[in-house]
Chain A
Amino acid sequence: MSSVLTLRLAGPLQAWGVSARFTRRTTETAPTKSGVIGLLAAAQGLAREADLSALAVLRFAVRVDQPGRRIRDFQTAHHLDTGDSMPLSERFYLADAVFVAAVQGEPGLIADLFEAVRAPAYLPYLGRRSCPPSPPVEPAVQHDALLDQALAGEPWRAAEWYQHKRRDEATVSLSVLSEPGGDVPVGATGADSWRDQPLSFDPRHRRHALRTVVTSTVTVANPCARTPPPTRPRPTVPAHDPTGPLEGV
């Protein structure tokens, strides 16, 4: 049996890089497995060089509740002590995005992670140190559950203004990026591969492996949906012929 831990990842800015290198720091449109596993490892207080194998085997999925907007920051900075200019860099962020990430694993480990996220050893951040989560990540554990069911049953976590914006839709379909359950090989048809399977967070030599990602959709209810007002009969203009009762000349 397995349990599922769900996290709400929401903040003014998020940045989830997979292929970000050097001065161009890009972001994916959804949280990466390495980013979320790193958040959990930090909550547990693991050191950078620690063995990740227990966390890396967790099955991971993320639901896009509010896609947000990609924004670009052209960053210039000077060294605090020497005043030398730092390398000019382009940094991309997701603004106003909300995701629900979920990891599935052995119940004991999930319970430990749940406790760790509630009282984290190192504060969590959303992909980049400068991007704190705005509401608490609201961890929740579902016992005896599978990843897909847990994400499909989770209520819509988008901001109220965003739910209100789509008030004409009673239900909304959200895309879910998940690891396939079986042994789907990397590069299978209909699947993406992302290089975000963490092998080591050692700052001297970070290593990531390829991971298979399949996209599906789930439908959730919109709590802000409005019922259309009852249609009211419009007054119609009656035909008017004043010459009916008159006699011609």
Chain B
Amino acid sequence: MYLTRFRFNTARSDARRLLSSPQSMHAAVMSSFPQILPTAAPAPRVLWRTDRNASAEVLLFLVGPFRPDLTHLVEQAGWPAAAASGTPGWQTFHYAPFLDRLDKGGTWGFRLTANPVHSVRNVDGAPTKRTAHLTPRHQVQWLLQRQEAGGFKVLPKPEDKQLTDHGDEHQVIVTDQRGMDFGKQGAKGRVTIKAVTYDGRLEVTDPDALRSLLTSGLGKAKAYGCGLMTLAPLG
């Protein structure tokens, strides 16, 4: 497995075109894996996420089974001249050694962009519909429901640090809620996705389950930049 980081040059119009269109970004990400043909039926999972740390620091993280070649992204939306001077314009890291080192009980900071949804039935007898969780409380609840199967536990928060009486018991915050809404060729209606970003701290409870979550993603809309969780050492 490989984890790749690429930084957008947000002053370029192509970068803005990519960042504003999850579909274009999906196409650009998938075309950076020459081994994965567009027609390949069960394609190996590729996960990606954009981190908007600042208006001029927008990063693309990519987790996939092969080494990607992001030359086309550098040319369209990066710094090609800087890349010519020896640096490739993106950084790829081996992910498997890090995953193998994950131990039960280890604590990490995590960031996850996901699409928290549940299925509701509006009318008795009607089929259920997939509906987004819209409040941070429900969105955190959605994550907590998946922590056991995912092999991790969000660390609890000391009582004197809790900002509210209910629903602030864990070290996780929801930031950067954004809606995506675009038409899709050959489909009736539009694709509407609510993506939120979780930032928090977790403890590993089941390394195997967490490894599988880190490489195969969590939740829906994985093609459109949701589901990739990354870990970083606690500062």
Contact = CB atoms under 8 A, between A and B. Distances in A.
Contacts of A239: 53, 235
A80 interface: no
B91 interface: yes
B93 A241 contact: no
B111 A242 contact: yes
Interface stretch (B70-78, B123-131, B186-194, B225-233): B225-233
Contact of B95 (A233, A240, A244, A246): A246
Contact of A241 (B67, B98, B232): B232
A247 B96 CA distance: 10
A238 B5 contact: no
Interface of A is mostly: loop
A249 B111 CA distance: 23
Given A237-B173, A237-B175, A246 B3 contact: yes
A244 B98 CA distance: 10
Q: Which range holds the interface residue count of chain B? A: 20 to 34
A245 interface: yes
A238 B51 CA distance: 12
A28 B67 CA distance: 83
Contacts of B175: 237
A232 interface: yes
B147 interface: no
A248 B4 CA distance: 10
B94 A240 contact: no
A235 B161 CA distance: 10
Interface in B132-181: 163, 173, 175
A237 B109 CA distance: 11
A248 B97 CA distance: 11
Interface in A216-249: 232-233, 235, 237-249
B79 interface: no
Contacts of A237: 173, 175, 199
A242 B173 contact: no
B97 A247 contact: yes
Interface string A119-154: 000000000000000000000000000000000000
Nearest to B67: A249
Given A237-B199, A240-B109, A245 B233 contact: yes
Contact of B109 (A238, A243, A247): A238
Contacts of A245: 98, 101, 232-233
Contact of B199 (A232, A238, A243): A238
B92 A242 contact: no
Interface string A166-206: 00000000000000000000000000000000000000000
Nearest to B214: A242
B33 interface: no
A243 B101 CA distance: 14
Most buried by A among B101, B110, B230, B232: B232
A242 B230 contact: yes
Contact of B232 (A232, A242, A247, A248): A242
A243 B163 contact: no
A229 B98 CA distance: 46
9 contacts: A235-B173, A237-B199, A238-B109, A238-B235, A242-B3, A245-B98, A245-B232, A246-B95, A248-B91
Given A237-B173, A242-B232, A249-B2, 13 more contacts: A235-B163, A237-B175, A240-B110, A240-B230, A240-B232, A242-B3, A243-B91, A243-B93, A245-B98, A245-B233, A246-B95, A247-B98, A248-B92
Q: Enumerate the 8 nearest inter-chain pairs by beta-carbon distance, A residue then B residue, closest first.
A: A242-B230, A246-B93, A240-B111, A235-B173, A249-B92, A242-B232, A240-B232, A246-B98
